[in-house]
Amino acid sequence: MRAKTGRAPAPGGPFRPEFWRSPLRGPWLTAVFGIVLLFGTTILFVTGLLSYAAYEPDLSPVNDQTPGKGWLGFYLFSWPTSPYWLYRVTQGVHVTLGVVLVPVLLAKLWSVIPKLFAWPPVRSPAQAAERLSLLLLVGGAGFEFATGILNTQLKYVFPGSFYTLHFYGAWVFIGAFAVHVAFRLGRAVRALRAGPRQPDPDSEEAAGLVAPRPAAPTISRRGALGMVGLGSFALFAVTAGQSAGGWFRRTALLAPHGQEPGSGPNGFQINKTAASVGIRPSDTGPAWRLTVRGAGRQVDLTYDGLLGLPQNEALLPIACVEGWSTADQHWSGVRLTDLAALVGLGAHAPQVLVESVQRGGSFASVVLSGSQVRDARSLLAVRVGGAVLSRDHGYPARVIVPGAPGVHNTKWVTRLTFGETP
């Protein structure tokens, strides 16, 4: 039989409105979570775009882990070296905010779960478009948050490059998010203005969220908001310290630990050890050479020859895509412009291809822009904190560039090629 409306009756279980009995669900609570996510997701998206721009993907395929981006890279620009802490802040905000929003996202999904089982599934073309965007929104949010959090833990279990998956996943998610906001923002604003009172379950104002037969409440809606807020604050307290660095890193319980190789000047965090990327003792021993190329010339330097060049200093942090960063480290070494001068390029040095002796892992080479090369703080560092670099920190020489993502501060450097890139 069919109902008098001509529609097929809803199946049992969660497809029937009476299945959902929480007295908390309603348009006001959903609107509060939605508005928080609206602002939070916007910040996440913008800082995510900035993170991608910081990798200078237009310089060379060496830098770009997302081939075929096409017009999705319309916003790209040359990443600045000043302020030197820029990437540390933008990526720290991106990762910390992403973790902090997890309770809000889960609460929002809980508050609208009856809508996912609405019957019939499609009533009109407009509703079909909205439900498709909802499917992409929920799936995209789950994918982006899951891959992002796994990345902060250095757990690369994805079937492919994290950078590619996260980049394209972000565009799918934000497209669905924009459609959802277009459909729902007006209703959310009206719900906020109406306040926490519950409308009649059968009214249009209820939006299918209010239980027709609610169970007895065990907590108020404001209490539920407080619990979600407390969860977000707790995640902030155990996450933010990894970006602040220094003493506050002790509070970052969710940050990867066991990454500090001992104490002393070389005792700050690393992501990859020499052993993990196939560095052999012979690769960095007496036979090591630094090859500098450019303008049709080539100069080969021994380690002692590199030490014999003018040494300069810079106070710069290491900041990584996973959200962690160090305090400013005291680096010393040879300016990249001085190395460019060895092949006749000097103060007008162009971009440079930096190559490492590492055999495994990603980012064995990188292309730095001309503005990065010409910054006086950009060094081929040989010492940190007054001590010779440890093998895990890139001995005999590593790049350090202000404002660059940590993976662009290439370790175990063996070749610099100015002006000629892949």
In a domain, 200, yes or no: yes
- The rounded distance, in Å, linking the Cα atoms of 205 and 419 is 63
Contact present, 188 and 31 (Cβ < 8 Å): yes
Sign of CA dihedral 339, 342, 343, 346: positive
**C-alpha to C-alpha distances, 366 to 45, 210, 239, 318, nearest whole angstrom:** 25, 55, 29, 16
How many helices (DSSP H) and strands (DSSP E) are in the chain? 10, 10
Q: Do 214 and 122 share a structural domain?
A: yes
Give the domain CATH number at 314: 3.90.420.10
Measured distance CA(189)–CA(132) in Å, rounded? 23
- Which range of residues forms the domain containing residue 409? 275-418
Under DSSP, the state recorded for 201 is T
In this structure, which amino acid lies at residue 107?
A: A
Asked if 141 and 25 sit in the same domain, the reply is yes
In a domain, 258, yes or no: no
pLDDT at 260: 62
Q: Where are the beta strands (DSSP E) in 210-311?
A: 290-294, 297-301
Residues 54 and 202 both lie in one domain: yes
Exposure class string for 313-344: b at 16+ Cβ within 10 A, else e: ebebbbbbbbbbbbebbebbbbbbbbbbbbbe
Claim to verify: residue 130 and residue 27 sit in the same structural domain: yes
Q: Using the 8-state DSSP alphabet, how is residue 70 labeled?
A: G
One domain, residues 315 and 389: yes
Give the whole-angstrom CA distance, residue 207 versus residue 17. 12
Mean pLDDT, all residues of the chain: 89
The per-residue b/e assignment along 90-109, b for 16 or more CB within 10 angstroms, e otherwise, is bbbbbbbbbbbbebbbebbe
Comparison of pLDDT for 201 and 133, the residue scoring more: 201
Instruction: Tell me how far apart the alpha carbons of residues 80 and 202 are, in angstroms, rounded to a whole number.
Output: 56
**Residue 146: inside a domain, yes or no?**
yes
Residues 289 and 282: their CA atoms lie apart, in Å, by 11
In a domain, 87, yes or no: yes
Q: Are residues 60 and 100 in the same domain?
A: yes
Conformational region of residue 338, where left means phi above 0, alpha means psi within -120 to 50, and beta covers everything else:
alpha
How many Cα atoms occupy the beta-carbon half-sphere of 172 within 13 Å?
18
Whether residue 158 lies inside any domain: the answer is yes
> What percent of the chain is modeled with pLDDT above 70?
95
Q: What pLDDT, in 10s, does the model give residues 353-373?
A: 999 999 877 889 999 999 999
Shared-domain flag, residues 234 and 88? yes
Is the per-residue pLDDT at 4 higher than 70? no
Same domain flag for 310 and 357:
yes
Scored b (16 or more CB within 10 A) or e, 247-260 reads eebeebebbbeeee
Does residue 129 share a domain with residue 226?
A: yes
User: 237 and 346 share a domain?
Assistant: no
Alpha helices (runs of H) in 83-161, residue ranges in sequence order: 86-100, 102-116, 125-152
- Evaluate whether 140 touches 165 at the Cβ level (below 8 Å): no
Which one has a higher pLDDT value, 421 or 219? 219
In a domain, 270, yes or no: no
Q: Is residue 267 part of a domain?
A: no
Q: What is the mean pLDDT of residues 412-417?
A: 97
- 315 and 181 inside one domain: no
Total domain count, the chain:
2
Percent helix, percent strand, percent coil in the chain, to nearest 5: 45, 10, 45
**Entry pTM:** 0.90
State residue 48's pLDDT score. 95
Task: Give the pLDDT band of residue 258 (cuts 50, 70, 90).
Answer: low
Measured CA to CA, the distance from residue 407 to residue 213 in angstroms comes to 56
pLDDT category of residue 10 using cuts at 50, 70 and 90? low
**Distance (Å, rounded) from C-alpha 412 to C-alpha 405?**
17
Instruction: Using a pLDDT cut of 90, give the percent of the chain over it.
Output: 61
pLDDT for 93-118, tens place per residue? 999 999 999 999 999 999 999 888 87
How many Cα atoms occupy the beta-carbon half-sphere of 141 within 13 Å? 23
Residues 118 and 204 in one domain: yes
Of 45, 90, 162, nearest to 320 by C-alpha is 90
User: Helices marked H in 200-257 — which ranges?
Assistant: 221-237, 241-244
Which of 243, 267, 285 is a domain's end point?
243
> Which is more confident, 302 or 295?
302
Q: Is the residue at 373 inside a domain?
A: yes
Contacts of 62-65 with C-beta under 8 Å, sequence gap 24+, read: 62/353, 62/365, 62/366, 62/367, 62/421, 62/422, 63/366, 63/367, 63/408, 65/161, 65/163, 65/164, 65/167, 65/362
CA distance 415 to 294: 11
